[in-house]
């Protein structure tokens, strides 16, 4: 049985909505993007949602509206995708990379406290696999030190922290709609916030810095006249992506339930396997289950993580690793002098992590096959 790592969940609902857009005569950013923003904001329960062509673009413009400057520092976890750090370098500012907690893989609170300097302007907590970070503690640190909190919620649709939905907590929250994400449109992103001025500025900056509603200039009733207000970016999404987003948003809770079911079944299956450490979800929060990451108990196995992945592949199951910590990449090592010794928890996690397939279209047989194969390999290679 061939089990890919991910398959987007595309049904006739998505196809019909895209065909409707194609037939409408308006395929770039337009009325469906505006509707997608409105429906997303309503779902999250926040005043503003601004759509982008990627989650990275959302993060970039979040840092732009807080006026990040070259001398500033921004604290980020090492266990993340490079996008979290890369956007800081767009300003010639400094990403300050810190360690994470071994249970949730989320940014460590003591590590944030230790990394704060007079130059710190913001912190970007990354809700790993969809599980919210310790937001009360992070908000408190931010208040005490006058920092902005920009949440990297690329994995967290939907997720809850003490019954508050992710997207309503920090200063700006950035979602990704990349193909493997809980809401997938191919490439896309969204920023949510309460600040009206920031939302207006992001809408201008995402389309070359030209006046508000510039997308309408070729529409019936729109005006050819526009003004460039500042240097912006080509970060707008299109109505084709928005069509996919609208169709998926309608079933986002159902898609979540499907991932919850799979996670529950994996955890049950692995509960009595001493060679495995299953994901920990803290009792006061709910994860989106974008990823299901097992950790190998290497002390109880005669096989390492890479070979385990190879064995899974021999059985036609594709897995992945989230993430190669930033401090291990040549760029971050060379430019910021990162040393693995400063990230013992992330190193420990990285050595033993494997992300298993988890997506709504998985059949029961596929879930069972993945679980049975993992358990079989644990038995075969037990020490
Ligand atoms: C943690 C994290 N942050 C940011 C991003 C960037 O999102 P996008 O690919 O939509 O630019 C990703 C995407 O993989 C991610 O996993």
**How many residues are present in the chain?**
383
The pLDDT value recorded for residue 89 is 98
Cβ of 81 less than 6 Å from ligand 1: yes
Of 190, 167, 203, residue with least CA distance to 46: 167
The pLDDT value recorded for residue 224 is 87
Cβ of 182 less than 6 Å from ligand 1: no
Q: Are 178 and 54 in contact (CB under 8 A)?
A: yes
pLDDT digits (tens, 9 = 90+) for 216-242: 888 888 888 889 999 999 999 999 999
CA of 53 to the centre of ligand 1 (A): 12
CA of 178 to the centre of ligand 1 (A): 7
CA of 103 to the centre of ligand 1 (A): 22
pTM of the model: 0.98
Cβ of 84 less than 6 Å from ligand 1: yes
> Which residues, given as ranges, of the chain have pLDDT below 50?
none
Cβ of 108 less than 6 Å from ligand 1: no
The pLDDT value recorded for residue 216 is 80
CA of 55 to the centre of ligand 1 (A): 6
Cβ of 154 less than 6 Å from ligand 1: yes
The pLDDT value recorded for residue 221 is 80
Phi and psi, residue 249, nearest 5°: -60, -35
Of 238, 237, 231, residue with least CA distance to 209: 231
The pLDDT value recorded for residue 220 is 80
The pLDDT value recorded for residue 217 is 80
The pLDDT value recorded for residue 281 is 98
Q: Are 96 and 120 in contact (CB under 8 A)?
A: yes
Query: Which residue out of 55, 57, 97, 175 has the highest number of ligand 1 atoms within 8 Å of its CB and is therefore the one to mutate?
Result: 55
Range 277-295 burial, b when 16+ CB lie within 10 A, else e: bbbebeeebbbbbbbbbbb
The pLDDT value recorded for residue 234 is 97
The pLDDT value recorded for residue 213 is 74
The pLDDT value recorded for residue 328 is 97
Query: Which of 32, 64, 181, 295 is an active site residue?
Result: 181
The DSSP bridge pattern shows strands 189-193 and 172-176 to be antiparallel
Residue of minimum CA distance from atom 7 in ligand 1: 55
Q: Which residues contact 312 (CB under 8 A, 6 or more apart)?
A: 318, 319, 354, 373, 374, 377
Rounded CA gap, 53 and 192, in Å?
A: 15
Burial of 180 (0-12, 13-18, 19+ CB in 10 A): middle
Cβ of 151 less than 6 Å from ligand 1: no
Q: Are 171 and 63 in contact (CB under 8 A)?
A: no
181 assigned to active site: yes
Dihedral over alpha carbons 155, 158, 161, 166 (to 10 degrees): 70
DSSP 133: -
Q: What is the gyration radius of the CA atoms in the chain, in angstroms?
A: 21
pLDDT digits (tens, 9 = 90+) for 262-274: 999 999 999 999 9
Burial of 92 (0-12, 13-18, 19+ CB in 10 A): exposed
CA of 56 to the centre of ligand 1 (A): 6
């Amino acid at each position: 049985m061939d089990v890919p790592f991910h398959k987007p969940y595309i049904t006739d609902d998505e196809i019909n909505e895209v065909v409707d857009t194609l037939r409408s005569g308006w395929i770039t950013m337009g009325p469906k993007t505006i509707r997608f923003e409105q429906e997303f904001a309503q779902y999250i329960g926040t005043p503003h949602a601004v759509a982008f062509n990627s989650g990275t673009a959302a993060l970039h413009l979040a840092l732009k509206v807080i006026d990040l400057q070259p001398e500033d520092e921004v604290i980020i976890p090492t266990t993340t995708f490079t996008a979290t750090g890369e956007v800081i370098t767009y300003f010639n500012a400094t990403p300050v990379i810190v360690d994470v907690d071994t249970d949730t893989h989320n940014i460590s609170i003591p590590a944030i406290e230790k990394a704060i300097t007079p130059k710190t302007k913001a912190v970007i907590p990354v809700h790993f696999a969809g599980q919210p970070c310790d937001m009360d503690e992070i908000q408190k640190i931010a208040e005490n030190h006058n920092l902005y909190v920009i949440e990297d919620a690329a994995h967290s649709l939907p997720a809850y922290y003490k019954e508050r939905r992710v997207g309503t907590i920090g200063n700006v929250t950035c979602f990704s709609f990349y193909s493997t994400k809980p809401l997938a449109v191919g490439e896309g992103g969204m920023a949510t916030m309460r600040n009206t001025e920031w939302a207006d500025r992001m809408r201008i900056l995402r389309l070359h810095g030209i006046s508000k509603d510039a997308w309408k200039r070729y529409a019936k009733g729109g005006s050819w006249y526009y003004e460039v207000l500042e240097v912006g970016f080509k970060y707008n999404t299109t109505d084709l992506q928005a069509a996919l987003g609208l169709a998926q948003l309608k079933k986002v809770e159902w898609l979540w339930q499907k991932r919850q079911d799979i996670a529950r079944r994996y955890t049950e299956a692995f509960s009595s396997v001493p060679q495995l450490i299953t994901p920990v979800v803290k009792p006061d929060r709910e994860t989106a289950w974008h990823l299901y990451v097992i950790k190998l108990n290497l002390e109880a196995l005669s096989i390492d993580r890479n070979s385990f992945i190879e064995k899974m592949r021999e059985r036609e199951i594709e897995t992945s690793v989230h993430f190669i910590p930033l401090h291990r990449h040549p760029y971050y090592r060379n430019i910021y002098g990162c040393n693995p010794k400063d990230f013992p928890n992330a190193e420990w996690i990285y050595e033993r992590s494997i992300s298993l397939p988890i997506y709504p279209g998985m059949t029961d047989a596929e879930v069972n096959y993945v679980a049975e194969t993992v358990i079989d390999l644990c038995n075969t290679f037990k020490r």
